[in-house]
Structure 1
Amino acid sequence: MKAFFLTLLAIALSLLVVDLVVPGVDLATFPAALLGAASIGVVNSFIKPILSVLSLPFNIVTLGLFSVVVNGLCFWLAAVAVPGFTVHGLFAFIFGPIVLSLVNTFLSNYFAQREPELEME
């Protein structure tokens, strides 16, 4: 249970960094970041696998680059579900998930080193 909350916190903090770094991504408050983190988790768990299977022909033709579009679509869809979390523009649509992934990887590794008994996903 502690690992779940640390993962949620890592994603929420990563969203706040994305808000600072990527123009077009706006978060109103920290609770909106927490809800956004939960929304991203739900979208990535349930909707992203379906979109990935449906977009498989495009992924094959583009040698995997269409995955960036699928990630951007999931990021935007998570933002639509949360009040106070908005994504505007193509730049935010493409680079928001990339920055989120990089920062989240760094924070998850940091938390895993601080709490080695926890298995972060």
Structure 2
Amino acid sequence: MKLLLRLVISTLAILAAGYFVPGVVVSSVGSAFVAAIVLGILNTFLKPILQILALPITILTLGLFYFVINVLVIYLATYLVDGFAISNFISALLFSLVVSVVSAILGMFLD
């Protein structure tokens, strides 16, 4: 039940980011739902591998390279999901920040 609620929160966060961030297009609630599932899977399995492989670069950039990894994961999600598009790097970065903030705020009510 908690997993389903987290999925709904992620979907709402993606819809909010699509509304507020210029350059982000979310065509429907269904595509936001699929994007939430795909982002969840990518963040669970692919992102830790990328973070381990990029550890030397991350140390050299004092942790800022984690933002680049996050944007790359989001770009991969846009490639995999129809109806979900991001136009540039800055939009993807702002998208990730908005999704994180909205998910955290809505997630506080879940716990």
The answer for the alignment partner of 2:91 in structure 1 is: 92
Structure 1 residue runs of 4+, over 4 Å off? Answer: none
Establish whether residue 25 from structure 1 lines up as the match of residue 19 from structure 2: no
Report deviation, 1:63.
0.6
Q: Whole-Å Cα distance in 2 between the matches of residues 47 and 10 of structure 1?
A: 21
Q: Is 1:8 aligned with 2:23?
A: no
1:105 aligned to 2:90? no
Partner residue of 1:118? none
Length-normalised TM-score, structure 1: 0.88
Larger Rg: 1
**Partner of residue 115, structure 1:** none
Q: In the aligned structure 2, how far is the partner of 1:4 from the partner of 1:90?
A: 30
Structure-2-length-normalised TM-score: 0.96
Structure 2 residues without counterparts, runs of 5 or longer: none
Secondary structure of 2:82's counterpart equals coil
Question: Alignment partner of 1:26: what SS?
Answer: strand
Cross-structure match for 2:65 = 66
Structure 2: how far apart are the matches of 1:80 and 1:111?
A: 30
Matched residue count: 111
The CA distance in 1 between the partners of 2:80 and 2:64, in whole Å, is: 26
Q: Which structure has greater helix proportion?
A: 2
Q: Distance in 2 between matches of 1:95 and 1:54?
A: 24
Instruction: Give how far 1:111 is off.
Output: 2.5
The answer to which of 89-98 and 15-24 deviates more is 89-98
Q: Deviations over 1:45-68 (max 9, x none)?
A: 111011101111111001101101
Q: For the aligned residues, what is the CA RMSD? A: 0.8
Unmatched 5+ stretches in structure 1: 113-121
